[in-house]
Structure 1
């Protein structure tokens, strides 16, 4: 039994590593473009917004916090404007109750989002209705849409200005790549903002 579990564990780690090696090559240009739009937004007074469900909600909070507070202990810099739309249970439950769960990200986005912001929609399937609606609203508002996606990516993929699509259908492995991609984007962005601080 332990031998079977050890083999299963090794297979999980190997698949995760193989996926990361693949996206390191295939998504490099896309990652740099995401860094570009984030830097442009922040230099023009915009902010980074994140949304997702379940584990992707946790990733949204994780990534926003690393901009607001600290990404790397070795880097001291000002707080960077970032917010997860998953933070407020009163807001989420009020919207779910009054407007429906499909609008839990769209509704607050319309109140706090501004032209020139960047919205990261995180969905491992690409099919989360509340992410799709938020991205549609963002596009109407002049907010840049970035998808952290998995599977075929649709219908969210069609609503993205830029997409980081993990080419797999296993939720756990996609999520592992999403957080790695998020960390890479934010670390490259932080490097730029340390080299040339925001005014």
Structure 2
């Protein structure tokens, strides 16, 4: 694709994002945050990088909320963050269970999992969702292509309407920015109501 075609395609995909799903996911996260839950992220490759990036963005969002005097903080954890834990799990178990052990040790029914997979079929992400559901966590999926297995398993999800992995990963980043903006704004509004 030449540059203009890539930009056009990205705009097309973003334009067709289901805004009701953005609202539904934001509401799931806000409810979990209000209950003291943690947002867990996981994904492979570029999706794993997206997971790590948004864990960092939540840290920055918390700093902004603190500067505004908002008491509520958002707890988050990227299951991709620790290469030590990941390599230990791979050595002693299997790559498909790489995200399960940290969830079993740290997850509760107040928590949420955002599972990111361009294909929607990454087996280790599928296993993470299965584990999260066993813990009664709310599960959210960001996928692409046809949505794969993940879109059938999660409580709420968005499928980026593309077959191109780079575009899917771009759209996932945009979706997460939209969601975090809504969450931040709602936390500010909720905090102001308490005053």
TM-score higher than 0.5 here?
yes
CA–CA separation in structure 2 for the residues paired with 1:127 and 1:97: 23
Q: Does the CA-based 8 Å contact 2:61-2:184 persist in structure 1? A: no
Residue 26 of structure 2 corresponds to residue 38 of structure 1 = no
Unaligned runs of 5+ in 2: none
Q: Does the CA-based 8 Å contact 2:113-2:140 persist in structure 1? A: yes
Q: Does the CA-based 8 Å contact 1:123-1:150 persist in structure 2? A: yes
Aligned with 1:80 (options 45, 49, 74): 74
Unaligned runs of 5+ in 1: 1-6
Partner-residue secondary structure (3-state), 2:148: coil
CA–CA separation in structure 1 for the residues paired with 2:91 and 2:2: 42
Greater than 6 Å deviation, 4+ residue runs: 71-75
Counterpart in the other structure of 2:102: 108
Superposed displacement of residue 70, structure 1: 2.9
- Aligned residue pairs, count: 190
Matches within 5 A, 1:47-196: 47-70=38-61, 76=68, 77=70, 79-196=73-190
Superposed displacement of residue 153, structure 1: 1.1
CA–CA separation in structure 1 for the residues paired with 2:15 and 2:24: 19
Counterpart in the other structure of 1:4: none
What whole-Å deviation, never above 9, does each CA across 1:77-119 have from its counterpart, x for those lacking one? 5642011000001000000111111011111111111112110
Q: TM-score, normalised by structure 1?
A: 0.90
State the structure with bigger RCO (CA 8 A, min sep 6), 1 or 2: 2
